[in-house]
Amino acid sequence: AQSVTQLGSHVSVSEGALVLLRCNYSSSVPPYLFWYVQYPNQGLQLLLKYTSAATLVKGINGFEAEFKKSETSFHLTKPSAHMSDAAEYFCAVSPRLGGNNDMRFGAGTRLTVKP
């Protein structure tokens, strides 16, 4: 079974500050890991994904995430926050080998960016 835990339901940063959104996963098989973003009144869209090619993954809008197997983590970072980054962010895991087709999402982290 797979699951993800997102630490912190709300994160607030100042514009220009580092963004760090935490995600820890649990998986009985090698995982695929994803970060999705949901802007107000919009559907979820993919920010980036880890599919075993490289542990440091770069996504859209300047975000990146690093897969750390020893820490079972896949934290999302951005060096400098922009007002437009305010949104809800979801970490997700799905099995890479066998298993079912069930992608598990975390509860989400709402990012607020202060001017």
Question: Which residues contribute to the site for other proteins (CB under 8 A)?
Answer: 9, 32, 34, 36, 41-46, 49, 51, 90, 92, 94-96, 99-108
9, 26, 80 from 73: Cα distances, Å: 17, 9, 21
Question: Is residue 63 a contact partner of residue 80, using CB atoms and an 8 Å limit?
Answer: no
Q: Whose Cβ is closer to other proteins: residue 70's or residue 101's?
A: 101
Distance of CA 55 to the CA centre of its chain: 14
Q: Whose Cβ is closer to other proteins: residue 16's or residue 102's?
A: 102
Report how far residue 100's alpha carbon sits from residue 92's, in angstroms, rounded to the nearest whole number: 15
CA proximity to 84, closest of 40, 31, 23, 26 = 40
Least distance from C-beta 104 to other proteins, angstroms?
A: 8
Least distance from C-beta 55 to other proteins, angstroms?
A: 18
Q: Whose Cβ is closer to other proteins: residue 15's or residue 104's?
A: 104
Least distance from C-beta 107 to other proteins, angstroms?
A: 5
